[in-house]
Structure 1
């Protein structure tokens, strides 16, 4: 494929869904003028994230939206030729999921429901149960939602399914137990960047990492949207500020170069690995 321009969004999205949709559409339109081909929004862009990881207030949860509803339709209409990944609270069969959807003007290309839930998030959302890749106008890709990227198996599963791009959508806050006076010095700030680089490098893929900024309830979000190359190098970043991290690259050429001598996926010795024989609840 030809080179593409990739963008990762760092921005604040609150509870007002109509305002969030209008803001997302505005960002998409501005990115289109700049020639962006793949745009990745944060987790919970349409309606915001929960405000407390330990005991989320059930009266203040994000509005659950239908994947076929007018909010997603507005994103599809704005996307046009661009591939757009956006996070939202998905209503399905009486449950609410922390979800991401990948669309273009042609419709939906892929979806993901967050699998790994930190602290009290299970009080607000049901958990997803799978990871997979899908074909999109910018190539084969997959999605993770914030805490998912802490687990190497999640990104590895997507890479083994043929993804060359992983979109990691986050609403990743600063530490709630050991908060630093400056965001760049926060423990979670370091981990956020570490996981982004590690997941890209160990799978030799391009990782596009978005994140919320600002404050929601007791949570202060880190920003730090970035694009990471298949060698783990940060190609573009917003740091802790809001904005759009963009870079133009030939994804296939970069991955071929990274895997020319050391091919991590091809050189695995899967027969030697312990595949979690004891259920987690019994530990």
Structure 2
């Protein structure tokens, strides 16, 4: 019997007002659950604006512990609606230790796992190294590139900048992930011309579809939408391009959002990855004896 999973994602705008942002998230979650979604995914940092456009110590006040108000609200929704829910937190782990954390809540078991973003960018408008400590790669409690077991399957959860690294996707696949999830916050610098914007967005879609192909796994990507200003006034802000999508294990697009707030819902065949890996046995043919230099920064 074929195993199927009805997966939904929420593509939304977000604001500095947590209550407003979370209300938008909740509306999308409820809409998808009513349509039959068993797994619902939210975008990166959906509870707030994308505050990393500038560096300000007072913005650490936005952070919460894993079991803080936002976490409790998401856990309650998963239980009430009978779904598995993946949300995003600006996590306060300890004084001076903060993470960009994806958290998974199971319908019956509450919080079943979390993933702390491993690759942290530091670019104009994306000053994340100021705010986020990278995740611990060897934490026995499930950190690093370890899938999260849920009642609907093993979720390979990664976050935004992680999506550009084939190593992260591969390690999740090698650990038994049944699908890859990428909550995201990515957009354009408004002064860029249309050709440059098109190249950036196409590259972003292509690299993640390639992870599906290379690993024989479905990929689910949720991005935010709308213009968010730089509250420091230094830059013109970011135009978040949306473009959330769900693709199958050969990279085929099953659903693709535009540039406005939107919900996507797809029924995935979880057994199809087995069939794809039989005809494209990349894991079998990997030359693991020859890859040692991948752990080096660069080969001079």
Structure 1 equivalent of residue 139 of structure 2: none
Give the unaligned 5+ runs of structure 1.
Answer: none
Write the distance in 2 (CA, Å) between the matches of 1:44 and 1:104. 20
Q: CA shift at 1:123, angstroms? A: 1.0
Structure 2 equivalent of residue 215 of structure 1: 227
Pair 1:109-2:112 in alignment: yes
The answer to whether the 8 A contact 1:49-1:62 is kept is: no
SS of residue paired to 2:187: coil
What TM-score, normalized by structure 2, do the two folds share? 0.85
The 5 Å alignment of 1:122-161 reads: 122-129=129-136, 130-161=144-175
Structure 1 equivalent of residue 193 of structure 2: 180
Write the distance in 1 (CA, Å) between the matches of 2:195 and 2:14. 22
Structure 2 equivalent of residue 71 of structure 1: 70
The answer to whether the 8 A contact 1:50-1:62 is kept is: no
Give the unaligned 5+ runs of structure 2.
Answer: 137-143, 231-236
Write the distance in 1 (CA, Å) between the matches of 2:190 and 2:20. 32
How many residues are treated as equivalent by the alignment?
277
The answer to whether the 8 A contact 2:164-2:208 is kept is: no
Write the distance in 1 (CA, Å) between the matches of 2:106 and 2:76. 8
The answer to whether the 8 A contact 2:6-2:36 is kept is: yes
Write the distance in 2 (CA, Å) between the matches of 1:187 and 1:274. 33
Q: CA shift at 1:51, angstroms? A: 4.5
Write the distance in 2 (CA, Å) between the matches of 1:196 and 1:268. 20
Structure 1 equivalent of residue 121 of structure 2: 118
The 5 Å alignment of 1:236-251 reads: 236-251=255-270
The answer to whether the 8 A contact 1:196-1:228 is kept is: no
What TM-score, normalized by structure 1, do the two folds share? 0.90
Residues 59-117 of structure 1 show CA distances to partners (whole Å, capped at 9, x for unaligned) of 44671011111211111111232111111200101221111101123211221111111
Residues 161-212 of structure 1 show CA distances to partners (whole Å, capped at 9, x for unaligned) of 00011110001122x39723489x4332112101220111111101110001
Write the distance in 1 (CA, Å) between the matches of 2:106 and 2:150. 8
The answer to whether the 8 A contact 1:206-1:229 is kept is: yes
Structure 1 equivalent of residue 205 of structure 2: 193
